[in-house]
Chain A
Amino acid sequence: MHEMSLAHGMMQQVLALLREHGAERVTDVTVLLGPFSGVVAESFAFGFEVLKKSETCFQDATLHLELPDPHYRCLECGVETSLPLTRSATFLDPDCETSTSSRCPVCASTRLSPLGGAELILQQVRME
């Protein structure tokens, strides 16, 4: 999608916080990417690595990504469940699961309705 521009926007938000708190450099940034946000974590991290070189105060910053598992409500039995993130196989991890459909752990129905998961949130910034 537009991971590069999202990373850029996030860095602008962090820079504003840096000024607000009179700090000079960023050491750590924590961002939560929801499982249904459509944002590819690797691309977001890549965008951050590229862009941080152009901002002195980001030079030593580390990006931490929180990638929560998707939550669903089963429309058959009503149970609310979280299922492990199914990722497609990549060059980095060719053996990982490629399934795109999930089943309810209680009744095995595939009628699972996603609960939230589209969040993109700047969680925490550490600065000095």
Chain B
Amino acid sequence: MCDSCGCQQDPVPINKEKVVDVHEQLLAANNEQASANRRHIEKMGAVALNLISSPGSGKTSLLEQTIERLKGRLSIGVIEGDLETERDAERIRKKGVPAVQLTTGGGCHLDAPMVHGGLHVLEHMAKGKKFDLIFIENVGNLVCPAAFDLGEHRRVVLLSVPEGSDKPEKYPATFRSADLVLVTKTDLLPYFDFNLEEATSAVKLLKPDLPVLPLAAEKGEGMDAWIDYLLALLPR
């Protein structure tokens, strides 16, 4: 019997609980912007690469040498990510290539909305000229950038000889997310306890079909294979 009015009906249970099945990505907002960036980059005529590594493993030097080899043949644009300073973008501009500096002011990675802003600035700098290759140099960090799709077509992870060959085992998520691993500063191999074979097999253990290219950008060693890799990405 109902308590409130004494009627003979059984009380109707009021179940206010709602169950909502969502199945939505936690990074949905970033991923949507990344897809938009990819379309934007393609409209700019370009293929984009996201370079990820620890600080100081040679991302900017690699870009300088890459520009040196491709200038006159391809139109290149660079987006630089750092916590502070315009320094890296200035190094790239000295090579005669438009470069946008994104400073995160403490943030440990670039995300898709930041790159979106960078693409517009790059477009403005190029005054309507098309690009062939856009490099996005991420903040030096081997952890956080792995989770953020920026809208790149290829993700390249750099591992420099002084860091040690056990890096892929220590930072598996980042290496697993890569399309290419570059072992940089190979001219230092005689001076460091770095085993190239061990590093390569550690990478293959994480992702067997992941290619590994060793190079020393400033010395020109291994640069031909890297340049061939880039050229093969371009639409014929």
Contact = CB atoms under 8 A, between A and B. Distances in A.
A27 to B, nearest CB: 7
A124 B18 contact: no
A35 to B, nearest CB: 10
A113 interface: yes
A128 B18 contact: yes
Interface string A1-43: 1100010011001000100010100010001000011110000
B173 A75 contact: no
A123 B208 CA distance: 31
Interface stretch (B24-32, B53-61, B84-92): B24-32
B17 A31 contact: no
A124 B19 contact: yes
Nearest to B141: A1
B181 to A, nearest CB: 15
Nearest to B170: A100
B70 interface: no
B173 A38 contact: yes
A120 B22 contact: no
A126 B204 CA distance: 42
A17 B18 CA distance: 11
A6 B18 CA distance: 24
Interface string A100-128: 11000000001111100011111111111
B208 A111 contact: yes
Given A13-B24, A38-B147, A75 B18 contact: no
Nearest to A13: B24
Interface in B177-207: 177, 204-207
Interface in A37-85: 37-39, 75
Output the residue of B22, B25, B26, B208 with the most chain A CB within 10 A: B26
Nearest to A7: B26
B122 interface: no
A31 B23 CA distance: 9
Given A120-B25, A120-B27, A128 B16 contact: yes
Contact of A119 (B17, B25, B177, B205): B25
B147 A125 contact: no
A101 B143 CA distance: 20
Contact of B143 (A38, A112, A126): A38
B108 A2 contact: yes
B204 to A, nearest CB: 7
B169 interface: yes
A114 B176 contact: yes
Interface in B1-33: 16-29
Contacts of B204: 111
Given A13-B24, A27-B17, A124-B21, 16 more contacts: A6-B26, A13-B22, A21-B18, A31-B26, A38-B174, A113-B207, A118-B173, A120-B25, A120-B27, A121-B24, A122-B23, A122-B25, A123-B21, A124-B20, A125-B22, A128-B17
Interface of B: 16-29, 108, 143-144, 146-147, 169, 172-174, 176-177, 204-209
19 contacts: A1-B143, A2-B108, A9-B29, A23-B16, A36-B172, A36-B173, A36-B176, A38-B143, A38-B146, A38-B147, A38-B174, A100-B169, A110-B205, A118-B173, A121-B25, A123-B21, A126-B18, A127-B17, A127-B18
